[in-house]
Amino acid sequence: MLGVFSSAIVSPPEELVAAGCRTPSPKITADALVKRFLDTNSSAVSMQIGDHGQFAYSHHNESALQPRSFAVKDEIFCLFEGALDNLGSLKQQYGLAKSANEVILVIEAYKALRDRAPYPPNHVVGHLIGSFAFIVFDMSTSTLFVASDQFGKVPLYWGITADGYVAFADNADLLKGACGKSLASFPQGCFFSTAVGELRSYENPKNKITAVPAEEEEIWGATFKVEGPAVLAATE
């Protein structure tokens, strides 16, 4: 799965900008990145979201245990990869039909966060148990919300393209060829929200997240780490 968003939606992380400047390497534009994705994934689907975002996904080479899914509801677009162990109880909690899947559940969870503000984001994401990574874009508010599970069971990466777009994908090689050293693994157990304005741990929301510059030989430009002792946040 792939999502790319312009600087009008999300400011490129300073740590990734610095990594790209420290070790200049080839990059391509966001449009070229989406085209590369479509060319290398059979039966891939892409969509333009407003003027500043694009989604693309394919079921090619997906895991049967961690399928990819897409949905849009009330101008909320969501790409989801993985499976939730507690989907049944969450559907009851949010009053969803038995046929609702993970991507619909995430959209409803995001709507609850948005409409009950200042409902803490970590309370919503912290209730999700299983293997997952997802990208939510709310076109009505131009808000981006991205998260990865606590153990990084579904890989997720982010980087900066040649034209300053922030790209998220489950394929490191795809972004490596597009973002150069302005590339990092999205930290497990964390979420990024343009409404909050920063990257945060949803298990330890008070702990600061720092970016450690990578060694020259590594494909990453930086590694994001949650500081301090782990203290599981209350999600009730």
Give the DSSP letter of residue 219: S
pLDDT higher than threshold 80 for residue 39: yes
Model confidence at 236, pLDDT cuts 50, 70, 90, reads: very low
Q: pLDDT at position 20, please?
A: 78
Token pair of 55 as six digits: 């989604």
- In terms of Cα–Cα distance, which of 189, 166, 176, 170 is closest to 220? 176
**Whole-number Å distance between alpha carbons of 37 and 33:** 6
Q: pLDDT at position 63, please?
A: 83
User: 225 or 28, which is more confident?
Assistant: 28
Q: Per residue in 185-231, pLDDT tens?
A: 999 999 999 988 888 888 887 788 887 777 665 667 778 888 876 54
Instruction: State whether residue 231 is helix, strand or coil.
Output: coil
Residues constituting the chain: 236
pLDDT higher than threshold 80 for residue 149: yes
**Whole-number Å distance between alpha carbons of 193 and 110:** 11
Indicate if the alpha-carbon torsion angle 180, 187, 36, 162 is positive or negative: negative
Token pair of 117 as six digits: 């503000």
Model confidence at 232, pLDDT cuts 50, 70, 90, reads: very low
Strands 143-148, 190-193: pairing is antiparallel
Q: Per residue in 70-122, pLDDT tens?
A: 999 999 999 999 999 999 999 998 888 999 999 999 999 899 888 876 677 77
pLDDT higher than threshold 70 for residue 235: no
Q: Which residues touch 138 (CB under 8 Å, ≥6 apart)?
A: 75, 76, 77, 110, 114, 144, 145
Q: Phi and psi for 3 in degrees, rounded to 5?
A: -135, 135
| Averaged confidence pLDDT in the chain | 87
Q: Is residue 129 a contact partner of residue 93, using CB atoms and an 8 Å limit?
A: no
What is this structure's pTM? 0.89
Strands 45-49, 2-5: pairing is unpaired
> Omega into 118 within 30° of 0, i.e. cis?
yes
Q: pLDDT at position 208, please?
A: 82
Model confidence at 233, pLDDT cuts 50, 70, 90, reads: very low
Q: pLDDT at position 229, please?
A: 62
**Span 43-49, mean pLDDT?**
93
